[in-house]
C-alpha cells in the first residue's frame, strides 16, 4: 500500500487522480489544507506503507529535516509553490515553479505526472495528458489569457464541475472520462449543470459586489474584503476586474477559518507578499491562509457581549 498527502483544490485532487491511475486500489489518500499538513504527515507511520508522496503542498522546515534524516528513501514531495523552494535542497523533494521544458508556470499535477505518468496504461495516456493540461491551465491562471480559447473555457468548466460534484464524485467522473480515451467529454447533463451554475455565479457576484469593503495594506495598496464561502476564485477575479483600483481581493470564509487572496495584476505576488505574512502561501495571483476558531469567537463577542452574552 502507498500513501499520498495532497492539497484540497483542483490541482491537489488532480494529483490524487494521477495516483489512482498509477496505483489503483493500492493508494491511501489524505487531503490536507496548509494548516494541517504538518500534523497529518507527522502522524503518519511510514512503516505501514511502501512509499509516501506529498503533492501540491509542502511540509515545514522542521518536519522536512526529520524526513530527510529518517525517511528520505521512502518519501517524495512534488510542489510548485515558491514558498516551498527551501525544501528543494533535499534529494527527495522536487519543487519547481516553472516547467523546465516550456519555461511556463507549472502545477503539482503536471510535476507529479511527469515523474510517475509512465506507469499509467498507454491505452489512455493521451486522455491523461489532456487532463493534466487543463488542470495546469486552471491552476496557473493561463486559462484567463485571451489566447487560451476553447482550452481555457474547458479548464474553467472542469473546475466548476469539481465544485459542483464534490471531491469523490469528481474523481470518479474524471477517471471514467480518462479511461474512455477522451478528456473532457462533457455530457448533455454536464453542460446543463454548468449553464445553470454559471447563471447562479453571475447573480452571486452581483450581490457580493455591493457588499465588499475597501481597506489599505501596509504598502498603501487598496484591497477589497468580502465575506463568503462560495465561488472564491470567480468572485475575487470579478471584483478585481470591476474595480481596477483594487490591488487584490481578500475573501474571508469565517465559518471554515479560511482566507483567500486573488489578483489580476502583475506587480504583486500574493503568496510571497501577502499570504506568507499570515502564515499562508500560494501563487502570485492566488493564495490562501487559515485562522483559528478563536477569531470567530472574537467576532461573536464583539457583536453580542454585554447584550445577549454576559
pLDDT at 306: 78
pLDDT at 19: 99
54 shares its domain with 119: yes
Burial (CB < 10 A; 0-12, 13-18, 19+), residue 7, is buried
171 shares its domain with 251: no
Give tens-digit pLDDT for 37-86: 999 999 999 999 999 999 999 999 999 999 999 999 999 999 999 889 99
* Angstrom distance (rounded) from CA 222 to CA 216: 5
119: Cβ contacts below 8 Å, ≥ 6 apart = 22
Q: What are 156's three cell numbers?
A: 474553467
194 in any annotated domain: no
114 in any annotated domain: yes
246 in any annotated domain: yes
Please give the tally of structural domains in the chain: 2
Which positions of the chain have pLDDT values less than 70?
none
116 shares its domain with 235: no
For residue 50, the enclosing domain spans 2-186
pLDDT at 293: 80
Pairing of strands 286-290, 281-282: antiparallel
pTM of the model: 0.82
307 in any annotated domain: no
Quick check: 54 and 41 in contact, CB under 8 A? Answer: yes
Looking at 8-74, which runs of residues are DSSP E strands? 27-32, 51-55
Angle, to 10 degrees, between the axis of helix 108-116 and the axis of helix 10-23? 20
49 shares its domain with 146: yes
pLDDT at 105: 94
40 shares its domain with 164: yes
Quick check: 182 and 154 in contact, CB under 8 A? Answer: no
Quick check: 54 and 19 in contact, CB under 8 A? Answer: no
Give tens-digit pLDDT for 134-173: 999 999 989 988 889 999 999 999 999 999 999 999 999 9
Amino acid at each position: 500500500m502507498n500513501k499520498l498527502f495532497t492539497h484540497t483544490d483542483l490541482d491537489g485532487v488532480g494529483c490524487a487522480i494521477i495516483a489512482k491511475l498509477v496505483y489503483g486500489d493500492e493508494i491511501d489518500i489524505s487531503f490536507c489544507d496548509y494548516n494541517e499538513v504538518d500534523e497529518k504527515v507527522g502522524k503518519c507511520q511510514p512503516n505501514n506503507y511502501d512509499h509516501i508522496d506529498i503533492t501540491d503542498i509542502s511540509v515545514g522546515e522542521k518536519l522536512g529535516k526529520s524526513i530527510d534524516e529518517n525517511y528520505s528513501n521512502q518519501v517524495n514531495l512534488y510542489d510548485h509553490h515558491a514558498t516551498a523552494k527551501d525544501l528543494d535542497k533535499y534529494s527527495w523533494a522536487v519543487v519547481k515553479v516553472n516547467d523546465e521544458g516550456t519555461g511556463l508556470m507549472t502545477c503539482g499535477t503536471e510535476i507529479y505526472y511527469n515523474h510517475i505518468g509512465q506507469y499509467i496504461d498507454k491505452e489512455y495516456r493521451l486522455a491523461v495528458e489532456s487532463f493534466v493540461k487543463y488542470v495546469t491551465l486552471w491552476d496557473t491562471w493561463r486559462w484567463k489569457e485571451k489566447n487560451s480559447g476553447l482550452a481555457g473555457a474547458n479548464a474553467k468548466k472542469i473546475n466548476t464541475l469539481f465544485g459542483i460534484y464534490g471531491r469523490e464524485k469528481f474523481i470518479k467522473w474524471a477517471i471514467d472520462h480518462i479511461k474512455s480515451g477522451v478528456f473532457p467529454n462533457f455530457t448533455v447533463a454536464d453542460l446543463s449543470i454548468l449553464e445553470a451554475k454559471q447563471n447562479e455565479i453571475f447573480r452571486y457576484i452581483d450581490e457580493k459586489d455591493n457588499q465588499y469593503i475597501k481597506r489599505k495594506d501596509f504598502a498603501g495598496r487598496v484591497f477589497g474584503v468580502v465575506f463568503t464561502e462560495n465561488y472564491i476564485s470567480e468572485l475575487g477575479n470579478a471584483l478585481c476586474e470591476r474595480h481596477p483600483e483594487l490591488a487584490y481581493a481578500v475573501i474571508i470564509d469565517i465559518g471554515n477559518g479560511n482566507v483567500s487572496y486573488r489578483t489580476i495584476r502583475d506587480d504583486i505576488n500574493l503568496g510571497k507578499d501577502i499570504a506568507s505574512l499570515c502564515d499562508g502561501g500560494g501563487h502570485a495571483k492566488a493564495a490562501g491562509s487559515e485562522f483559528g476558531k478563536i477569531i470567530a469567537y472574537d467576532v461573536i463577542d464583539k457583536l453580542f457581549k454585554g447584550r445577549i452574552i454576559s
